[in-house]
C-alpha cells in the first residue's frame, strides 16, 4: 500500500487528506486496528524516531507519550521504585516489563499533558505494556511489532476503534525531506545528527565531572529535544524526561515551563501528596486533576467546604508554599538540555531552583561568559554541544 486515506486533516474542514509515498513505493506502516488521523500520524512518526534513537543511544527499551507533535514524556525502561509506581498509578500491576516501565515513566511524568496521547514504543509491544495502555486515555500506539495477546488487548480498547500502527523498523527515509506551506515547497536535509558522547565532551565549567548516569540522561534530553517543537527545554532525571517546555517563543519561558513540570513531578512524591486519601471510585484522570490543583495556587478550590468531600475521604492539610519549597530543595542531580543557547543567565538561575546539576546546550551566545559564571556559582557541570536542535 502506498497511500492511506484519512478522515480529514488537522481540522474537520481540511479535506481531502491522506498520507502517501511520492515515489510510489510501499508505505513503511500497516494499520492493524482503528483509523488513525492526520495528527495521529504526525505524532506517530515523530514519536517513533524519538524512541528508535533512544534505544540506539542507551541500549534500553524506550517509550514516548506524544501530544500535538511534541513529547509530553519520554523514557527508557529502568525499573520503577515503589514511590514512582504509586505516583504513576501502576503500583497495583506488580513488576512491569522494561518496555512497560518505559511507558509508565513516559506517561507518568506529566500526566496532565499525556491525557489522550499517542504512544511510540521502540520494541515489540508485550502484554504488560498493552495492559498498561488499555487503562489509560490514549488515541493510539505505534511499534515495530505486537505480541498476539498484546494486540488482542489493544483491539478491545475504545470499543474496538483504538489506533494500532505497526512500522517497519528497517525503514530508512530519504536524505532530503520536503513539506509545503502556503503552496510553497520547503526542502532540507534530514536531521541525522547522532547524539553521542562526543557532543558532550566540551565541558566549559570549572566542575568537569559527569558520571555515566548523567551522560545517559543528557543524551535522553537532547534526543527528546530533537523531536520537540522549538523553542524547547527538557529536564531529565533517572532515565526519563520529568519536564518538557515546548513551542515557546522565549527561552526563559521554556525553562520556566519545563522547570514547573519537573517541580510538579517531584512534588507528587512528597508525603503531603502521597498521603492524600481519595474517595472510592475517583478515576485516575480526576485524581491527576485534583493533585494538580492541590499542588498549585488554586488549592483553596479543592479544600473549600462542599468540594473536598467530593474528592477526599479526609480533608488534607494545606500544602504551603514554604513546605513545597522545602521539599523541592531535596531534588538533586537533575539534567537540563536546551535546543539552542541560553542567551541570559536567568535560565541558569531557574534551572537551579529545580535541582539542575548538569546542563547540555549549544553555546554560542554573546553572553556565554555570564552563563558559565552563573553555572560555576552553583557548581554545575555544563557542556557546550555546538549543535542547535530546532524542530518545526
Q: 64 and 74 in contact (C-beta within 8 Å)? A: yes
* C-alpha dihedral sign at 73, 77, 82, 88: positive
Cα–Cα distance list, 31 to 21, 96, 387 (Å): 16, 27, 36
* C-alpha dihedral sign at 224, 229, 235, 241: negative
d(CA 250, CA 102): 30
User: Residue 136's CB: how many other CB atoms inside 10 A?
Assistant: 21
Q: Using the structure block, give the residue that is written with the C-alpha cell 523514557.
A: 75
Half-sphere exposure of 343 (CA within 13 A, CB side): 7
User: Residue 185's CB: how many other CB atoms inside 10 A?
Assistant: 8
CA terminus-to-terminus distance, the chain: 28
Task: Kindly report the length of the chain.
Answer: 392
Exposed (0-12), middle (13-18) or buried (19+): which is 80, by Cβ within 10 Å? buried
User: Residue 321's CB: how many other CB atoms inside 10 A?
Assistant: 9
Q: What are phi and psi of 117, to 5 degrees?
A: -80, 170
Q: 317 and 366 in contact (C-beta within 8 Å)? A: no
Q: Is 150 helix (H, G, I), strand (E, B) or coil?
A: helix
Nearest to 75 by CA among 234, 242, 194, 267: 242
In the set 231, 264, 331, 347, the catalytic residue is: 231
Q: 209 and 216 in contact (C-beta within 8 Å)? A: no
Q: What are phi and psi of 52, to 5 degrees?
A: -60, -45
Is 392 labeled as catalytic in the residue annotation? yes
Is 67 labeled as catalytic in the residue annotation? yes
In the set 52, 67, 261, 357, the catalytic residue is: 67
All 3 cell numbers of residue 21? 509515498
Q: Which residues are catalytic?
A: 67-68, 231, 392
Amino acid at each position: 500500500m502506498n497511500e492511506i486515506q484519512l478522515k480529514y486533516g488537522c481540522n474537520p474542514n481540511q479535506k481531502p487528506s491522506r498520507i502517501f509515498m511520492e515515489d510510489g513505493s510501499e508505505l513503511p506502516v500497516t494499520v492493524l486496528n482503528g483509523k488513525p488521523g492526520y495528527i495521529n500520524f504526525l505524532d506517530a512518526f515523530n514519536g517513533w524516531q524519538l524512541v528508535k534513537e533512544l534505544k540506539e543511544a542507551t541500549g534500553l527499551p524506550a517509550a514516548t507519550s506524544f501530544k500535538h507533535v511534541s513529547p509530553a514524556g519520554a523514557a527508557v525502561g529502568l525499573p520503577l521504585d515503589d514511590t514512582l509506581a504509586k505516583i504513576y498509578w501502576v503500583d497495583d500491576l506488580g513488576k512491569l516489563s522494561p518496555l512497560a516501565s518505559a511507558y509508565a515513566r513516559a506517561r507518568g511524568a506529566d500526566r496532565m499533558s499525556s491525557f489522550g496521547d499517542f504512544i511510540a514504543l521502540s520494541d515489540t509491544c508485550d502484554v504488560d505494556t498493552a495492559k498498561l495502555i488499555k487503562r489509560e486515555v490514549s488515541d493510539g500506539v505505534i511499534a515495530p511489532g505486537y505480541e498476539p495477546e498484546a494486540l488482542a488487548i489493544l483491539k478491545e480498547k475504545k470499543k474496538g476503534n483504538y489506533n494500532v500502527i505497526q512500522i517497519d523498523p528497517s525503514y530508512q527515509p530519504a536524505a532530503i525531506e520536503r513539506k509545503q506551506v502556503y503552496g510553497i515547497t520547503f526542502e532540507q536535509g534530514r536531521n541525522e545528527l547522532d547524539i553521542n558522547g562526543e557532543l558532550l565532551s566540551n565541558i566549559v565549567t570549572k566542575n568537569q565531572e559527569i558520571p555515566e548516569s548523567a551522560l545517559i540522561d543528557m543524551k535522553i534530553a537532547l534526543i527528546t529535544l530533537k523531536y520537540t517543537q522549538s523553542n524547547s527545554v527538557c529536564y531529565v532525571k533517572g532515565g526519563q524526561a520529568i519536564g518538557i517546555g515546548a513551542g515557546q517563543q522565549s527561552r526563559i519561558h521554556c525553562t520556566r515551563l519545563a522547570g514547573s513540570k519537573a517541580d510538579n513531578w517531584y512534588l507528587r512524591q512528597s508525603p503531603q501528596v502521597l498521603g492524600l486519601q481519595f474517595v472510592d471510585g475517583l478515576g485516575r484522570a480526576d485524581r491527576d486533576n485534583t493533585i494538580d490543583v492541590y499542588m498549585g495556587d488554586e488549592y483553596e478550590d479543592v479544600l473549600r467546604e462542599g468540594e473536598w468531600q467530593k474528592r477526599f475521604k479526609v480533608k488534607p492539610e494545606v500544602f504551603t508554599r514554604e513546605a513545597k519549597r522545602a521539599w523541592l530543595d531535596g531534588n538533586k542531580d537533575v539534567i537540563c538540555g536546551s535546543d539552542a543557547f541560553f542567551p541570559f543567565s536567568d535560565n541558569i538561575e531557574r534551572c537551579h531552583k529545580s535541582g539542575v546539576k548538569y546542563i547540555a546546550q549549544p553555546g554560542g551566545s554573546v553572553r556565554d561568559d555570564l552563563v558559565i559564571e552563573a553555572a560555576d556559582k552553583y557548581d554545575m557541570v555544563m557542556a557546550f554541544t555546538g549543535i542547535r536542535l530546532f524542530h518545526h
